[in-house]
Structure 1
Amino acid sequence: MNKQIQWGIIGCGDVTEVKSGPAFTKIEGSKLVAVMRRNGEKARDYAMRHGVPKWYDDAASLMDDPDVNAVYIATPPSSHREYTIMAAEAGKPVYVEKPMALNYQECKQMIRACASLEVPLFVAYYRRCLPNFVKIKELLDNQVIGDLRFVHMQLYLPPLASTGTDLPWRVNPAISGGGLFYDLGSHQLDLLDHFFGPISSAKGHVANQAGLYPAEDIVCASLAFSNGIVGTGLWCFSVPPKEQLDKAEIIGSKGKISFSFFDLSTPVTVETENGAQVLSFTMPQHVQQPLIQTIVEELQGKGKCPSTGSSAARTARVMDEIMQDWKSRSNGK
């Protein structure tokens, strides 16, 4: 596809306001030409504010638009499978938000549909292309901290403010697949896949300690990678504000790398026998733009995107393995 990539967005909500939406038109050879939201007034408002020529209130109309030749699905995970298959049947490349779907089985169905119709499938694990994580990948590949031993990550956050009847979709498993572990932990597990290669097995201890919503709020996981590296993670989403923490360490035979997954202003610290080096980075205005750039380049035959349906499905499989016992208990099995 050497012509201009003309995007349509399904679900123009908050994530598309700054993180992704404007990037589609700021990239050479790419343009946002249509948006869809079930609330037509909100779709029209988004289109007017962002200078998008067309808006729709149903997905089929956007998929059928001949001016749209690629689709970005920015709805919650519960509709990712449906819209991805619709886009594939329309013959249009798909860029879908993360997590890729509610579970690994849905991911496989999406991959099969796109493969059978020869439609490219990409997933919005955009951290793979942000400068701090690109640098960490480079340091690891160059063995700056020696042979890799293990990774440990901690993410502690206070509970979400609204509960009960005003339940945020991110902690409604029927819509999100799980709780904040699915929303945030998926980014982390995907990056570890990018840094070290596939996770071969994962086990988890999961609970709902605070009882504020149906989803899990604490997860402790152990990971084994196919190359012998091991990892651990602890996620807790019911700590007091002063205990909030976002920290990760990668340990090697000659040093360690410390960084944050979500506070992108936190420097990357590299410690070796030669001392400590603190690396700071400037983030792009639209954090998904570097990844979208690689998608446009691949669709135009100029490059390769590092975040595909296949790589994202691996992360979904790992999350399912970590959550297996919890989901069995929750379903009364």
Structure 2
Amino acid sequence: MAAIRWGIIGCGSVTEVKSGPALQKAEGSELRAVMRRNGALAEDYARRHGVPRWYDRAEALIGDAEVDAVYVATPPSSHMAYAIAAAKAGKPVYVEKPMAMNAGECEAMIEACQKAGVPLFVAYYRRALPRFLHIKKLLDSGAVGDIRFVRTSQLRKPSEAEMTRPGEIWRLDPAVGGGGHFIDLASHTLDVLDFLLGPVRDVSGWASNRAGLYPAEDHVSGSYVFESGVHGIGNWCYCAYGAEDSNEIVGTKGKLSFATFGEGPIKLETDQGTEEWTIANPAHIQQPLVQTIVDDLLGRGTCPSTGISALRTSRVMDALLSGYYR
């Protein structure tokens, strides 16, 4: 196979810059078809991005003989159904994050793909970004010594839309997104910590709705222990005074600080002083991960973000939210 021919289910905003062009620009990759329930919007997307085919039914795209692999870019509530349908058609699946509504759905998706003999990839694209590969290299080289703990703080102030029109934001509807901003945003941090530090072994946490603006949780805090013995603490508050995005990995020789979403400098502090690295993200932020997926499918590499790794992140989130969504 000279190239992987992709079809997108759900060509919404995330596909405009982050992922759609990445499927077109990755080496050995083509974007052959897109689908959206609103046919006019699907046609418009196809025209603007130079995509040969468009559909308004997912089953039509999945059944297209010229689509080799399917990218599911819909809200989480439909990830499982579309992923299983693609797997039954014998087509590899790439699904947006979070992988599904909960860990149980993730397990069903993995089982379906394993039964069909097709791979399952998940869009935790930080695992392939140069910024986070550099952080991993620093940690693996022993730059902070033996790692003792990691602490995360993510704060956001509610937007005007969240205060006045929260019903229009699907990411705040647990029936569609599986939760609120925590599911959408904290999943990136928890997954990249899995990538950097290994799987989590034990989790405990608390979730609540402090501002009362919408049904989903708006404040989550918790602690966890990685299989390596490293301790972790996290605080995610989406009804605070302002913005903060920080992670600190502390060891016996130093501390490594970095943001999950921002592009500020990666900072290493030790007894010898402070070093900083500024590494910008690519224009199409999913392209490095997409390239690993294409290479994996073509037998020339391995993708670091699979259904198995994403399931671990969903299990951690489920545990942190269990009291709120009991």
TM-score (norm 2): 0.98
CA deviation after TM superposition for structure 1 residue 161, in Å: 2.8
Counterpart selection for 1:282 from 280, 283, 286: 280
- CA deviation digits over 1:140-169, x for unaligned, max 9? 111111000000010000113324563311
- CA deviation digits over 1:244-263, x for unaligned, max 9? 11111000100000111011
Counterpart selection for 1:299 from 297, 300, 304: 297
Q: Which residue of 2 aligns with 1:99?
A: 98
Q: Which residue of 1 aligns with 2:48?
A: 49
* Matched AA of 2:221: C
SS at match of 2:161: coil
* Matched AA of 2:168: L
- Distance in 1 separating the partners of 2:64 and 2:159: 39
Q: 1:24 and 2:23 equivalent? A: yes
SS at match of 1:302: coil
The runs of 4+ residues in structure 1 deviating greater than 4 Å are none
Q: Contact 1:167 / 1:213 at 8 angstroms: preserved in 2?
A: no
* Matched AA of 1:192: L
Q: Which residue of 2 aligns with 1:205?
A: 206
CA deviation after TM superposition for structure 1 residue 3, in Å: 3.2
Bigger shift: residues 163-172 or 287-296:
163-172
SS at match of 1:35: strand
Q: Which residue of 1 aligns with 2:192?
A: 191
Counterpart selection for 2:320 from 299, 319, 322: 322
Q: Which residue of 2 aligns with 1:169?
A: 170
TM-score (norm 1): 0.96
CA deviation after TM superposition for structure 1 residue 276, in Å: 0.4
CA spacing shift, 1:274–1:177, aligned 2, 3 Å: same
SS at match of 2:324: helix
Q: Which residue of 2 aligns with 1:65?
A: 64
- Distance in 1 separating the partners of 2:108 and 2:54: 29
Q: Which residue of 2 aligns with 1:158?
A: 157
- CA deviation digits over 1:104-157, x for unaligned, max 9? 000000000000010100000000111111111111111111000000010000
* Matched AA of 1:152: R
- Distance in 1 separating the partners of 2:168 and 2:50: 32
- Distance in 1 separating the partners of 2:187 and 2:168: 21
Q: Which residue of 2 aligns with 1:214?
A: 215
Identity of matched residues, %: 55
Structure 1 unmatched ranges of 5 or more: 329-333
SS at match of 1:315: helix
- Distance in 2 separating the partners of 1:239 and 1:83: 36
Q: Which residue of 2 aligns with 1:90?
A: 89
Q: Which residue of 2 aligns with 1:331?
A: none
SS at match of 2:20: coil
SS at match of 1:312: helix
- Distance in 1 separating the partners of 2:185 and 2:222: 14
- Distance in 2 separating the partners of 1:121 and 1:66: 19
Q: Contact 2:167 / 2:173 at 8 angstroms: preserved in 1?
A: no
SS at match of 1:114: helix
In the TM superposition, 1:179-258 aligns within 5 A as 179-240=180-241, 243-258=242-257
Q: How many residues align?
A: 324
Q: Contact 2:166 / 2:214 at 8 angstroms: preserved in 1?
A: no
- Distance in 2 separating the partners of 1:165 and 1:297: 41
Structure 2 unmatched ranges of 5 or more: none
Q: Which residue of 1 aligns with 2:261?
A: 262
- Distance in 1 separating the partners of 2:197 and 2:267: 19
SS at match of 1:67: coil
Q: Contact 2:166 / 2:213 at 8 angstroms: preserved in 1?
A: no
CA deviation after TM superposition for structure 1 residue 36, in Å: 0.1
SS at match of 2:269: strand
* Matched AA of 1:178: G
- Distance in 1 separating the partners of 2:47 and 2:159: 31
- Distance in 1 separating the partners of 2:183 and 2:167: 20
SS at match of 2:207: strand
SS at match of 2:160: coil
SS at match of 2:27: coil
Q: Which residue of 2 aligns with 1:120?
A: 119
Tell me how large the CA RMSD over aligned residues is: 0.9
- Distance in 2 separating the partners of 1:120 and 1:165: 36
SS at match of 2:239: coil
- Distance in 2 separating the partners of 1:36 and 1:269: 42
SS at match of 2:158: coil
- Distance in 2 separating the partners of 1:99 and 1:160: 22
